[in-house]
Amino acid sequence: MTPDGEAQLRAASLRVTRPRLAVLTALRGHPHVDTDTVISLVRADHPTVSHQAVYDVLRALTNAGLVRRIEPAGATARYETRTSDNHHHVVCRSCGAIADVDCAVGHAPCLTASHGHGFVIDEAEVVYWGTCPDCSEGS
């Protein structure tokens, strides 16, 4: 099993608070959800947590590397706990569903495009666009 939230927070020298644990738990069970959904999930157990707290927590966890923020074009920010393995995402054009995709071309393939106008490139982000099973079925 993944280390429990408390251990993760301490390892990142972040204070262990109820809202933070709740957000981590919510994201564990529901990958790729937006902020609003996180708020709902958190409030299921802790009704008094403010939306601002969730925004703060998500930012803190993202900065600490415990959570990864993804932001597909035309959608609001989503979050997931699967970090540090440079995987990518498929996004459904019609319903917005997101699924994980392991890096196709081995590891960090695209960083080879380094001769980009003098830019120092440190990350290559890939987003696949398409149609999810549910949506392509209907048509």
User: Residues marked as binding for Zn(2+)?
Assistant: 92, 95, 132, 135
Candidates 6-14, 94-102, 112-120, 121-129; binding stretch for DNA (CB under 7 A): 6-14
* Residues 64, 3: Cα–Cα separation, whole Å: 15
Residue in 53, 66, 92, 98 binding DNA, rule: CB under 7 A: 53
**48 is a site residue for DNA (CB under 7 A):** yes
Judging by DSSP bridges, how do beta strands 88-92 and 68-70 pair with one another? unpaired
Q: Residue 36 belongs to what H/E stretch?
A: helix 35-45
* Residues 91, 64: Cα–Cα separation, whole Å: 26
By CB under 7 A, name the binding residues for DNA: 9-10, 14-20, 34-36, 48-53, 55-57, 59-60, 71, 76-77
